[in-house]
Amino acid sequence: MKVNFTETVLRDANQSLVATRMPFSDFEKILELLDKAGYYSLECWGGATFDSCLRYLSEDPWERLRKIRYKVKNTKLQMLLRGQNLLGYKHYPDDVVRKFVAHAAQNGIDIFRIFDALNDFRNIEVAVDETLKQGAHAQGCICYTTSPIHNLEKYVVLGKQLESLGVHSICIKDMAGIMGPQEAYDLIRALKSNVKIPVFLHTHSTTGFGPITYVKAVEAGCDGIDTAISSFSGGTSQPATESLHYALKQMGYTTDLDEKILKRINDFFKPLKAKYVSSALLDPFVMGTETDALVYQIPGGMLSNLIAQLKAQNAMDKLEDVLIETPKVRKDLGYPPLVTPMSQMVGVQAALNVLSGERYKNITNEVKAYLRGEYGKAPGEVNQELLRKVLGDEKPMTNRFADTLAPEFERVKKELGSLARSDEDVLSYIAFPQIADKFFKERIERESRSVTYTIRMKEEYPR
């Protein structure tokens, strides 16, 4: 049996370890070698890369994708898409979702890994449909979590729902690294017995389970796993590519990976890691094993956000209280999986509850929107007292929230005028208006300092 490897160093490893601050210039020279290593796919876009390119790196995320595509001729390029949320933290109208998927495919994305934080698949239907129309690979996600309401039977039902949507494959997304090896074996085996499409597994090394979980998943028939080249593996990132390749090969499985090329790739990234450590961009904290995640189910990125929030309030002494409060808030909200944007929503509310000294004295707008049903259907029953406090006699909506949103793309395109040079610029603005506006204006300033900039970029990286 062959096991497919998806390399995450350009997206999730980058996001998990260095907050997505790796500029294109740092990895440009290794792209052609990555293309020759035998990976099933390179996860290189989506998640927080879009926001980070515009906000911190002064890069056009669309241009980054085109430049990666120009260098990577053969290996599939993969992105993570938050369904109706795209790459932001709210729901966008269907016309925007379709435009975004279409342009992502046209600019180089082959595989769209599409998820909804609540596993409410009404929120991924449009993105999946447009992916299929574009002739790209639609991979539907099941966000994995544990709770009194999450079990094998529920996950099998979700897998069948995804298959009925027409996706080409399923990915189990274990964002907190809390899936144990036996849980992985049982879940993969259950899904493989009930669906006919390939099943992939994504996890993190946060709790130390990662490598063992992957091995048991493969034994159960898992078709592919996400790994990171070893210098950017471990901690809140993924398990190491080379180690899993070696272990699975020893166990009699085959992969398409070239060990000599993997070593050259790792040798390239080693000094980059050292540079990020010396600049304090890579915090040693995220490289450790955090078994508390098994208790609190808090992903690494969510924990970092909580720590930053408490530091800003000079309240780091309250961290343990916030960690204890977090699963209580999650229960009150009906046990949503802790993945963006739900992880931020639950974490911020837990911190507010602790810092204010009274539970739900202050309730965030995001939690209020969630309770109104704007993010989709809660997985379990919501705390009725909290619901009454926010909604009064109003009932939560039961229809899909995006159905209430008016088309937006053409209106925004007209408003932006010449500031937006392409449909991609319009999409960037819709996703992150203030950040994109600042980026567009700075781009004009940069180009005015170098009249050859645009010509050079078109020559080096033609569309």
Tokens 């090394």 label which residue?
Answer: 205
Angle, alpha carbons 434-175-291 (nearest 5°): 120
For a pLDDT cut of 90, what percent of the chain falls above it?
A: 82
DSSP letters for 129-160: HHHHHTTPEEEEEEE---BTTB-HHHHHHHHH
Beta strands 137-143 and 111-114: pairing type?
parallel
- In sequence order, what are the beta bridge partners of 200? 171, 224
What pLDDT does 339 receive?
87
Give the confidence band of 305 by pLDDT, cuts at 50, 70, 90: confident
CA dihedral of residues 416, 420, 425, 431 (deg, nearest 10) = -20
- In sequence order, what are the beta bridge partners of 404? none
Q: Does a cis peptide bond (omega within 30 degrees of 0) precede residue 341?
A: yes
pLDDT at 453 over 60: no
What pLDDT does 460 receive?
65
pLDDT at 455 over 60: no
Give the confidence band of 341 by pLDDT, cuts at 50, 70, 90: confident
Length of the chain: 463
The per-residue pLDDT for range 119-160, each reduced to its tens digit, is 999 999 999 999 999 999 999 999 999 999 999 999 999 999
- Residue-averaged pLDDT of the chain: 93
What pLDDT does 294 receive?
84
d(CA 140, CA 125): 10
Give the confidence band of 19 by pLDDT, cuts at 50, 70, 90: confident
What pLDDT does 418 receive?
93
Instruction: Count Cα neighbours of 231 within 13 Å in the Cβ-side half-sphere.
Output: 17
Q: How far is CA 29 from CA 43, 53, 71, 72, 270, in A?
A: 17, 18, 9, 11, 14
Of 253, 250, 244, 179, give the one whose Cα is nearest residue 221: 253
Within 10 angstroms of residue 361's Cβ, the number of other Cβ atoms is: 10
pLDDT at 390 over 70: yes
pLDDT at 291 over 90: no
Parse the chain into domains and list their residue ranges. Answer: 4-278, 292-398, 407-460
CA 127 to chain CA centroid, nearest Å = 15
More confident residue, 298 or 198: 198
What pLDDT does 232 receive?
97
pLDDT at 254 over 80: yes
Calculate mean pLDDT across residues 213-217.
98
Contact 47, 80 (CB under 8 A): yes
CA 379 to chain CA centroid, nearest Å = 20
d(CA 112, CA 138): 5
What pTM value is reported for the model? 0.94
Helix (H, G, I), strand (E, B) or coil at 65: helix
Calculate mean pLDDT across residues 392-414.
94
More confident residue, 19 or 195: 195
CA 291 to chain CA centroid, nearest Å = 22
What pLDDT does 224 receive?
98
- Residues 6 or more apart whose CB falls under 8 angstroms from that of 275 comprise none
CATH number attached to the domain at 292-398: 1.10.472.90
Terminal C-alpha separation, the chain: 38
For a pLDDT cut of 70, what percent of the chain falls above it?
A: 96
What is the topology classification, in CATH, of domain 4-278? TIM Barrel (3.20.20)
d(CA 262, CA 240): 11
pLDDT at 61 over 70: yes
Region of poorest pLDDT, from 77-91, 210-224, 255-269, 305-319: 305-319
pLDDT at 236 over 60: yes
d(CA 35, CA 38): 7
Our separate counts of H helices and E strands in the chain read 22, 8
Give the confidence band of 357 by pLDDT, cuts at 50, 70, 90: very high
pLDDT at 366 over 90: yes
